[in-house]
Amino acid sequence: MNYIFYDFETTGRNSDWDQILQLGAILTDEQFQEIDRFEAKCYLKPGHIPSPKALLVNQTTVDILKKTNLSHYSLINQIENKFRSWSPAIFIGYNSISFDEEFLRKALFKCLYNPYITINNGNKRADLLGLARATQIYNPEIIEVPLSKNGNATFKLDKLAPLNKIENFQAHDALGDSMATLKLAELIYKRDTDLWDSSLLTASKDEANQIVEQEKIFCITESFYSKIKPYVVTFVCYHPIYNWAQCFDLKNDPLKYTNLSFELLEDAISASPKIIRSVRNNKHPIIMKKKYLSYIKEYAHLNLPELVKRSDIINNNEEFKQKIRSILDKQASYKKETISQLDVNFEETIYHHFASNTEKEIMLNFHTTDWKDKIKIASKFKDERHYYFAERLIYEESPQSLPKELYTKIHRQIAKQILSPNNENWNTIPKAYKEIDDLRDQYEQEGNEDFIKRLNDLNIFIEDIEKKYQDA
């Protein structure tokens, strides 16, 4: 399959509320030869307050926010069209599954597109960060890893790439980071093709499930802050809500747990260190078969026959596995009940339920209809979320197409959100002013005149937004 290396620059780190500002994407074949590339930027959505620090990091100036020709909705249209035309492929980013992927999904969701483009229509997804970390367990000579001030390995792309002779790219630029990700992937592939190929065996949920179900014993890695920890595990069951594979850590003697009562086993599962490890099968877990056991020092005191014996004890004990399922179900039900009692905004509901086929048809009509007629199409939505997003899109793209009373309602809703003095989930004007003040103090001490100027420009920019909404 072809590869799509991609990266986003955004207005902040909260994928529910912040927006994409820039996309960089490169399509290659399996030998990493470039076939096509795509880059685009957009301006700030009306009534959106960016994080000042995020804009400094990704080098987005006020001029870019104001003068870029492309709107956010137009950018998402182009991304959706381009990615669909490049499919099927394996989407690869750096920390993409936790960050870029979430931004992509939620942007598509709020723009009334299929949010799961990277896993539908034959597509798969992978995250190079997980593999880069795993190399330190399975083949630490593949890449050089920089150390932090505390002496811990750090896997930040802007530090990792130059150390491995990946030059001539602009860090924190979407296309530059995509190119760095591509070159790092190519480096790993050339130096350990087997490791690269093995890592891609879990680029889809179904393939990951197949491995954990078929292999009696396999190796996984987890990251805790800057520490990478390997585990040798065996499959037990799937999580009742997330459907993640739940696996028993074979470092533990299963005979200590198989005959425990429900209550005592529940306590054991909740204790630390965990005896049950989650394999997030939909998030490109790095799973290695038992031939990689010799690389994991933490299990060196257990020979292969002993590990097989422990695995067999688990796999042949249906009563024990059922207890695990019941405990997880109990915990999940409690969590679900707690979450259901919270006030949740539509922007935060992407995973609540999928769109029906009827809703999808209305979405298609919405995109292909003139702006003046979109509100009529929007009225056909049965899902409140879709109608809400449709209203917001018309407000952002063609406000004159809204009835006056509806425009006023949306305008006031946005004003209430961004002027809020409370500690909201989204960025507000009071939050932005405080962040600017804190950053300005920092850079005045450092004598960074460029950043101080950019912060002053941003302060004026936010003041203009405030004037627009303060009398709503």
Please state which of the ranges 35-39, 136-140, 335-339, 439-443 shows the lowest mean pLDDT.
335-339
456 has a pLDDT exceeding 90: yes
345 has a pLDDT exceeding 60: yes
- Model pLDDT, residue 472: 80
324 has a pLDDT exceeding 90: yes
- Model pLDDT, residue 151: 84
- Model pLDDT, residue 171: 84
325 has a pLDDT exceeding 80: yes
- Model pLDDT, residue 148: 86
372 has a pLDDT exceeding 60: yes
The runs of H, that is alpha helices, within 369-448 are 371-378, 384-397, 404-418, 429-446
Strands (E) located in 225-306: 227-238, 245-249, 276-279, 287-289
Q: What is the pTM of this model?
A: 0.94
Helix (H) or strand (E) holding 28: strand 20-28
Percent of the chain scoring above 90 in pLDDT: 90
Segment 445-469 shows an average pLDDT of 96
- Model pLDDT, residue 338: 59
Segment 268-288 shows an average pLDDT of 95
> Do 105 and 99 form a contact (C-beta atoms < 8 A)?
no
Which two structure tokens, joined as six digits, stand for 385?
A: 């979320």
Mean pLDDT: which of 85-89, 144-148, 156-160, 166-170 is highest?
85-89
- Model pLDDT, residue 377: 98
> Do 83 and 105 form a contact (C-beta atoms < 8 A)?
no
342 has a pLDDT exceeding 80: no
pLDDT band at 182 (very low <50, low <70, confident <90, very high): very high
Domains recognised in the chain with CATH numbers: 2-196 (3.30.420.10), 204-340 (3.30.1520.20), 357-469 (no CATH)
- Model pLDDT, residue 451: 96
> Do 456 and 437 form a contact (C-beta atoms < 8 A)?
no
The pLDDT tens digits for 53-66 are: 999 999 999 999 98
Segment 390-396 shows an average pLDDT of 98
Choose among 20, 16, 19: nearest CA to 6: 20
367 has a pLDDT exceeding 90: yes
152 has a pLDDT exceeding 90: no
- Model pLDDT, residue 355: 97
Alpha carbon 273 to chain centroid distance? 26
Segment 250-266 shows an average pLDDT of 96
Average pLDDT score, the chain: 95
Please state which of the ranges 333-337, 383-387, 438-442 shows the lowest mean pLDDT.
333-337
- In degrees, rounded to 5, the angle at the alpha carbon of residue 251 between the alpha carbons of residues 247 and 255 is 80
276 has a pLDDT exceeding 90: yes
Contacts of 145 (CB under 8 A, 6+ apart): 132, 136, 153, 154, 155, 160, 163
343 has a pLDDT exceeding 80: no
- Model pLDDT, residue 277: 97
User: Which position has the higher pLDDT, 472 or 393?
Assistant: 393
115 has a pLDDT exceeding 70: yes
- Model pLDDT, residue 339: 58
- Model pLDDT, residue 227: 81
pLDDT band at 337 (very low <50, low <70, confident <90, very high): low
pLDDT band at 241 (very low <50, low <70, confident <90, very high): confident
How many whole angstroms separate alpha carbon 19 and alpha carbon 104? 9
How many whole angstroms separate alpha carbon 236 and alpha carbon 214? 12
